[in-house]
Structure 1
Amino acid sequence: MNYGFLKVAAATPKIQVGNCMYNADEIIKLIKEANDQKVSMIVFPELSITGYTCEDLFLQDSLLDMAKKALLKIVKETEDMEMVSIVGLPLVFNGVLYNVAAVVCKGEILGFVPKSIIPNYSEFYESRHFTSGVDIYGYVDPGDPGDEQEAWFSTNMLFKCTSMPEFVFGVEICEDLWAPMSPSIRLALAGATVIANLSASNETTGKMDYRKKLVSMQSAKCLCGYIYANAGEGESTTDVVFPGHNLIAENGRIIAESKRFEKGMIVSYLDLQKIANERRRIKSFATKDQDKYTTIEFDIDVSNITGFDRKIDSMPFVPKSGKDRDDRCEEIITIQAMGLKKRMEHTNCKCAVVGISGGLDSTLALLATANAFDRLGLDRKNIIAVTMPGFGTTDRTYTNAVSLINSIGATFKEISIVDGVTQHFKDINHDLDNHDVTYENGQARYRTLLLMDLANKYNGLVIGTGDLSELALGWATYNGDHMSMYGVNGGIPKTLIRHLVRFYADTCDDKGLSDVLKDVLDTPVSPELLPPEDGKISQKTEDLVGPYELHDFFLYYALRFGFSPEKVYFLACHAFAKPNEVKGSEAYDKEVILKWLKVFYRRFFAQQFKRSCLPDGPKVGSVAVSPRGDLRMPSDAVAKEWLDRLEKIDI
């Protein structure tokens, strides 16, 4: 299976201006190199067969005739290759000269796409030689003696792969991208999932960043893969220099980029299944005008992935660079605080009640609450921070909870649940030595009862501490820690919570608070509902439900893009093949990944009833499980189809 991945390339040959046969040979070399790498589609720069900087040589019959012969040579020498090649050349059609892209596949010219927008400003004087191809169409004879093949000539053309329905591409040329109404917009709306751009964009100071933003944004707007091939070395430097700056983008993200002023090729995988799923999900992207486009079908072998080397981030919720992480953390804490601020203003509450366990989630909830109080101009003493030690509480978590509350400046309140829960177990005739689910959940519900009643007493709101990862797995006691009056952490996955707390520890300018936060980060994740062993935590969450870094990965790709279990497994195996030292993720064997992926799907389906009645809370990222927003899922849906697919995986 290829899981919707398509291997593509953008290439810049070293050319000689006006030497078409030499340029064709250089193009063929790169096509063969791409073919050896199992590339399915390669894009070359604008007018790559002749060179973009031929100027008035474009008016010479000799150049135009040789350009066609060079194209036919490329067609002939690549006829045994399972790939699409797109090259640029000048072409006369009905007595008019056009700047065109020739689409070549397996010994056939599938079509000629003329440039729509002809620049005529600053250093560009294309209208001296070329005419816009808008509304021009018909058949072109490529001119091979004895060959009666004709190729369609039009800007309104889509190319569709019969063996991979998601692979539909369109072509635009250089300035077409820079125009307010780019052809790629209409091509995408008509069904193109990939846009090829043959470009000759010269370099000036600051232009590289602008070009990257333009390509990135166009791929985002069009929900497409975008392959941008730029002219480079060999072009005339009479007045300008071309950088050979090639880019491959997908849905707003640059996934491959060449170094400037170097010839050669960049290669990457586009995830066309992701693109198709995004278009299906985002209803504002409405396909239209398909009937105005001629669809040219072709067939190449894209059945298998070989040498899959696309970087798959093991922690998709966590930004890569330190600066981006810091910015994201500050942004998220602000979103949490602003959400709570509005709720407190609306309810006219001057008090908040937070249960503090000494763990990550309650720590972040308290930090967000303090931030909201600062924005409201309220005294932090109006935050009633309650620690409720029970049968499983350890000295470490208790000490951290107390220190954290005091460092924040909240009102400290301690209520042991031991006597109350013991009496409750007597009331329901439950053996205190029977450490089953009743034993665990009884403690969680009793704690929630205390928090709710304290909120009534102080006219305050109970602030929820449960996070997105726990909600996805249902790792919460129904009507226990599952319930609150406002859940500030409900949109944040566990892997990101760690970085949020770390960010606060590094930026708070309070050594005492920083030390406490760092110790909280080093504490194993645990509900602490079972008695300690030798004073240490005996119940570690990740031993029971699996590593959160795996579950967050599964959650991201299963919910954000709707991928099949097989594809989620495939991606996870690549993402976790090696540890990510920057973000702190581990490496996992395929057997381990498959084991926990089955657990994820079982729990995700079985625990939907808890998510169906979640308290309010702010959405933070692109994945959320609120029944009022992102996840409208029946509580009694079954996981059989998903689990059956996983059972068929051969490790």
Structure 2
Amino acid sequence: MHKYGFFRTAAAVPKLKLADCQYNINEIIALAAKAWEAGVEVLLFPELGITGYTCGDLFFQRELQNEAVAALDQLCQWSQGKKLLLVVGLPLVVGGSLYNCAATINDGKILGVVPKTYIPNYQEFYEKRWFASAKSLLQTEIKLCSQVVPIGTDLLFQHAKHEELVVGIEICEDLWVPISPGSFHALAGATVILNPSASNEVVGKSDYRRELIRSQSGRGNVAYLYTSAGFGESTSDLVFGGNAIICERGILLKELPKFNLGNELLIADIDVESLIHDRQMMHGFGDSFDLLKGHHYRTITFETPGTDNFERDVNPWPFVPGDLNRRSERCEEIFNIQTIGLATRLAHIGNAPMVVGISGGLDSTMALLVCVSVCDRFNIPRTKIHAVTMPGFGTTDRTYENAVALINGLGATFHEISIVAACQAHFKDIGHPPDLHNVTYENSQARERTQILMDLANKLGGIVIGTGDLSELALGWATYNGDHMSMYSVNASVPKTLIRYLVEWVADHSPEKAIQEILYDVLDTPVSPELLPPDAEGKIAQKTEETVGPYELHDFFMYQMVRHGFSPEKVYYLACRAFDGVYEKAVILKWLKNFYQRFFSQQFKRNCLPDGPKVGTVSFSPRGDWRMPSDAKATQWLKSLDAIKPIS
């Protein structure tokens, strides 16, 4: 997993008995042993987990203080020979003051101790009665468990062999202040922030806390592990739910349900490589380095063995939310972005008529639905949409009838202009045999359709609405200066896998049953440019995915390559995980090679794209998102794939 930038982490919630250090350390060791067996490399326990958080004035008792240190020593002895980074909480007396600390252990050694900086003293919290802030700490080293140990908030823990894994620690309240210590840790290079906490439960707090952790992981471009005290803490006034959360780059990876009875492990494999990629992309991160003035860090190395047992869920459809509610929200948002984008362009040019070619396929249907949405939202007659169906040599009855029914059913102005005679005349002009069904035969049809749309727009004083999508742009699956070109392209940054759900979402929300039925049939129609004649039964013979490969694979490849900058080898590895049981590894490799070959060779088409609204993090606009020379070579990427020998 290290090869691909993955590291296994866990947040633990042990059972505890208040002020019973021996019981607590036994439970901590039991959970640590379980984590070690599971291949965990970084393991976080709650704040003051060795004693419990709600000991009150017992924290001043020398007996409790000494027993906490003795328990820590016991954990050190257990960890000998185990290269697992453990973080546990305990109270420590340093220089005559008591500090709320997190101790970091690896292979029998205490690597460092981080004291809490911000001590809450409001409402239910009364910590200043017992603990001093790290700001008052004078020592940089202490003697602890017969070891000389660094102490301070300036400690970062870096993997000895994989330098991109850097761990920083902040404790509970440290997260809740305007600028947390973890923010400085991230700027100083930390890619993982650990927060041992003891956060009680009150109505509404858990939602706010989850969002705080998620947003902090996004702002810092870090993985964030949080775990809180749970069952066994005093309930004299408060209840602690034992919540644990792991986030990455603003995404919630996993969460442990609250109010568990303890001895729980929340395990997640984090992708540090993706964090580094985003930091390289976002210069605002580097521009914040001046905030580190006056902050000096000490780096301490550690080792972990890693594991080959990859357990992270890999979403095969990264553009499509799995949760139905989130998917519906995503579709609504994208549809609104498309609508406002087109409406703004129309307002700028005086609400010109919209000219759009309708084939009966997914993409043109989506473009027409956006045009209708603009009309309805801004009180424009739908007749200002000039929808043109242009039957040709490959048009089937199914797509033709759907196109006609959809145009008429939505109330757009209907045009039918056959391209057959024009293409035949063109073939004669250029000396092309009409029975030679090659690329000239296909592309001539696409360019003829675009010529019709452009000239009709000139006649009407209108604007040609493009229908091509993001997936087609990635593969270059568009005829240059044919369907590749328009005056405004509403689908330009929507991938094929998501277009399908957008059309379905509109269908599901349509009040017109007849329109619903047409849209559902469009969704059931194979993807095809229909540039080759139908088969003997009059059905679509030219199926895009049989030629270029499944769009669900290509959308996955595109997302991992463009969004994260992953190597071809890592993209292949993740694809094999995501589509296990769906495609054989050899098939995935075949289409991945095809993807890279097409992606590199077709950049010239992306370099001259028409305007269109950006809707997601992956976009190919040459003006804002993707700048790549048209003559870049795919040699190195293909060489990496050639070295792979898939075993199904």
Structure 2 length as normaliser, TM-score? Answer: 0.97
Q: Which amino acid aligns with 1:269?
A: D
Q: Offset of 1:357 from its aligned partner? A: 0.4
User: What's 1:251 paired with?
Assistant: 249
User: What's 2:272 paired with?
Assistant: 272
User: What's 1:617 paired with?
Assistant: 612
Q: Offset of 1:135 from its aligned partner? A: 5.9
Q: Which amino acid aligns with 1:434?
A: L
Does the aligned pair in 2 maintain the 1:249–1:256 contact within 8 Å?
yes
- The correspondence for 2:377, drawn from 342, 362, 375, is 375
User: What's 1:584 paired with?
Assistant: none
User: What's 1:298 paired with?
Assistant: 301
Q: Which amino acid aligns with 1:572?
A: A
Q: Which amino acid aligns with 1:570?
A: Y
User: What's 1:225 paired with?
Assistant: 223
User: What's 2:187 paired with?
Assistant: 189
| Distance in 1 (alpha carbons) for counterparts of 2:347 and 2:245 | 48
Q: Offset of 1:376 from its aligned partner? A: 3.2
Q: Are residues 1:366 and 2:368 paired?
A: yes
User: What's 1:604 paired with?
Assistant: 599
User: What's 2:573 paired with?
Assistant: 570
Question: Aligned ranges for residues 64-75 of structure 1 at < 5 Å?
Answer: 64-75=65-76
Q: Offset of 1:592 from its aligned partner? A: 1.0
Deviations 1:577-602 (A, max 9, x none): 15xxxxxxxx1111111111111111
Deviations 1:128-168 (A, max 9, x none): 00000026353444443xx4x31111112111112111100
Structure 1 residues 10, 290: CA separation in 2 closer, same or farther (over 3 Å shift)?
farther
Deviations 1:204-260 (A, max 9, x none): 122221211111111111111000011011111121111111111111111111121
Structure 1 residues 113, 419: CA separation in 2 closer, same or farther (over 3 Å shift)?
same
User: What's 1:37 paired with?
Assistant: 38
- The correspondence for 1:477, drawn from 476, 479, 485, is 479
| Distance in 1 (alpha carbons) for counterparts of 2:634 and 2:382 | 45
| Distance in 2 (alpha carbons) for counterparts of 1:95 and 1:341 | 69
| Distance in 2 (alpha carbons) for counterparts of 1:424 and 1:349 | 34
Q: Offset of 1:291 from its aligned partner? A: 7.7
User: What's 2:621 paired with?
Assistant: 626
The more displaced of 501-510 and 287-296 is 287-296
Does the aligned pair in 1 maintain the 2:94–2:142 contact within 8 Å?
no
User: What's 2:162 paired with?
Assistant: 164
User: What's 1:112 paired with?
Assistant: 113
| Distance in 1 (alpha carbons) for counterparts of 2:535 and 2:106 | 68
- Seq. identity, %: 54
| Distance in 2 (alpha carbons) for counterparts of 1:236 and 1:398 | 72
Gaps of 5+ in 2: none
SS of aligned partner of 2:566? coil
Does the aligned pair in 2 maintain the 1:137–1:153 contact within 8 Å?
no
User: What's 2:633 paired with?
Assistant: 638
| Distance in 2 (alpha carbons) for counterparts of 1:237 and 1:80 | 38
SS of aligned partner of 1:539? coil
Q: Offset of 1:9 from its aligned partner? A: 0.5
- The correspondence for 1:518, drawn from 517, 520, 526, is 520
Q: Offset of 1:290 from its aligned partner? A: 8.2
User: What's 1:582 paired with?
Assistant: none
User: What's 1:56 paired with?
Assistant: 57
Does the aligned pair in 1 maintain the 2:155–2:300 contact within 8 Å?
no
| Distance in 1 (alpha carbons) for counterparts of 2:514 and 2:110 | 71
- The correspondence for 1:204, drawn from 202, 205, 227, is 202
Structure 1 length as normaliser, TM-score? Answer: 0.96
| Distance in 2 (alpha carbons) for counterparts of 1:28 and 1:296 | 26
Q: Which amino acid aligns with 2:599?
A: F
Question: Aligned ranges for residues 537-576 of structure 1 at < 5 Å?
Answer: 537-576=540-579
- The correspondence for 1:340, drawn from 336, 342, 365, is 342
Q: Offset of 1:325 from its aligned partner? A: 1.4
User: What's 1:503 paired with?
Assistant: 505
Structure 1 residues 556, 538: CA separation in 2 closer, same or farther (over 3 Å shift)?
same
SS of aligned partner of 1:425? helix
User: What's 2:150 paired with?
Assistant: 152
The more displaced of 629-638 and 372-381 is 372-381
| Distance in 2 (alpha carbons) for counterparts of 1:200 and 1:574 | 36
Q: Which amino acid aligns with 2:91?
A: P
Gaps of 5+ in 1: 579-586
| Distance in 2 (alpha carbons) for counterparts of 1:215 and 1:143 | 32
| Distance in 2 (alpha carbons) for counterparts of 1:562 and 1:391 | 41
Structure 1 residues 510, 195: CA separation in 2 closer, same or farther (over 3 Å shift)?
same
Q: Offset of 1:122 from its aligned partner? A: 1.3
Does the aligned pair in 2 maintain the 1:502–1:521 contact within 8 Å?
yes
| Distance in 2 (alpha carbons) for counterparts of 1:520 and 1:478 | 26
Q: Offset of 1:302 from its aligned partner? A: 4.3
User: What's 2:413 paired with?
Assistant: 411
Q: Offset of 1:650 from its aligned partner? A: 2.8
Cα RMSD over matched residues? Answer: 1.3
Q: Offset of 1:306 from its aligned partner? A: 2.7
Q: Which amino acid aligns with 1:407?
A: G
Does the aligned pair in 2 maintain the 1:435–1:530 contact within 8 Å?
yes
- The correspondence for 1:437, drawn from 419, 436, 439, is 439
Does the aligned pair in 2 maintain the 1:526–1:539 contact within 8 Å?
yes
User: What's 1:81 paired with?
Assistant: 82
Structure 1 residues 193, 617: CA separation in 2 closer, same or farther (over 3 Å shift)?
same
Deviations 1:367-400 (A, max 9, x none): 0011112233221111111000000000000000
User: What's 2:238 paired with?
Assistant: 240
User: What's 2:355 paired with?
Assistant: 353
Q: Offset of 1:89 from its aligned partner? A: 0.4
- The correspondence for 1:260, drawn from 258, 261, 278, is 258
Q: Are residues 1:130 and 2:131 paired?
A: yes
SS of aligned partner of 1:285? helix
The more displaced of 313-322 and 479-488 is 313-322
- Give the length in aligned residue pairs: 639
Deviations 1:494-551 (A, max 9, x none): 0000001001111111011111000000000000000001201000000000000000
User: What's 2:535 paired with?
Assistant: 533
